[in-house]
Structure 1
Amino acid sequence: MRKLQAEIQGRRTEAAVYAVLSQGGAAAATMTPVDTSTLINSHFVEIKADGNKVTGRNGYTARYAAAVHDAPGTLKGQPRTDFGRTGNQSEYGPMRPVAFGGGTGVGDYWDPNAEPQFLTKGFDQIAADVPRILRNAYRAFDRRS
């Protein structure tokens, strides 16, 4: 019995937590904004086992990920306008014009399926399925053993 309990608390539970995280991450990926693919390619899943507790994290390592996740999405579908350049005069004399930034002039902001709060919404989509995902993960582990 102790051996079974240790196994359930260990590899089986880690596999079950991973199953939930991967399903939630997959749902989130369909709503993640994609421009250069840096954000979507920075996705990670982390599982930690500490004694008889297993925790998991799902996220993105791109440094701007939190800002995009929390963005209101008000520019969704609008063209990426080129904002132009600064003037070439200052009170100190001529200067080199510099691009304002923020607009590439190519494509639209966000993509058609992108959603603000994409990671949260991805896990909200699978919340009702979590018991089934866990059950299937534990059963699949039993079949492999």
Structure 2
Amino acid sequence: MPVRGGRNVRRNAKRHIGRIAGSQTERVVTEILIIGEGYAVDLTPVDTANLINSRYRRITNEQTGTKGVIGYTAEYAAAVHDGGPKNWQKPDAEDQFLRRGFERDGMGDIRAHIRRSYRN
């Protein structure tokens, strides 16, 4: 008994894989960065608005996958992130604020977003 519809299955599979490997994943990674960045802002020490306003977000498509990077252009950002001066105006500010925004506080929302985005 011959199988029917094999050509359609291959065409649809190729279309879905292309969508996941391309624009959909790029959009999901961007949204993940936005979620984690939102949690990190609440933990970011504020002396002036310079640190928060110096944030940047970069998405790159590499051979191994899509990579998202968030960083700060302010020169003192690394020193503050790694436990520098503690004269912060925000009482809930923490060391390692960027890492904690993604790993500790935002992880549940990030996982839920990934599941929701790739479900369809």
Query: Which category describes the TM-score, using the shorter chain as reference length?
Result: 0.7 to 0.9
Aligned to 1:134: 114
Identity %: 41
TM-score normalised over the length of structure 2:
0.78
One-letter identity of the residue aligned with 2:112: R
Higher helix share: 2
Q: 1:100-126 CA deviation, whole Å, 9 max, x = no partner? A: xxxxxxxxx212121111111111212
Aligned to 2:26: 14
**TM superposition shift of 1:52:** 5.8
**TM superposition shift of 1:6:** 1.0
Instruction: Give the count of matched residue pairs.
Output: 106
**Residue 50 (str. 1) matches residue 30 (str. 2):** no
- CA distance in structure 2 between the partners assigned to 1:113 and 1:31 by the alignment: 6
1:30 aligned counterpart, secondary structure: helix
Is this contact kept in 2: 1:19–1:134, CA < 8 A? no
One-letter identity of the residue aligned with 1:22: I
Aligned to 1:122: 101
Is this contact kept in 2: 1:45–1:56, CA < 8 A? yes
TM-score normalised over the length of structure 1:
0.66
- CA distance in structure 2 between the partners assigned to 1:67 and 1:25 by the alignment: 19
**TM superposition shift of 1:36:** 1.7
Moved more, 4-13 or 125-134: 125-134
**TM superposition shift of 1:27:** 0.1
Runs of 4+ in 1 over 3 A off after TM superposition: none
Q: Once superposed, what is the RMSD of the aligned Cα atoms?
A: 1.8
**TM superposition shift of 1:72:** 5.5
1:132 aligned counterpart, secondary structure: helix
Instruction: Extract unaligned runs of 5+ from structure 1.
Output: 76-108
Moved more, 28-37 or 44-53: 44-53
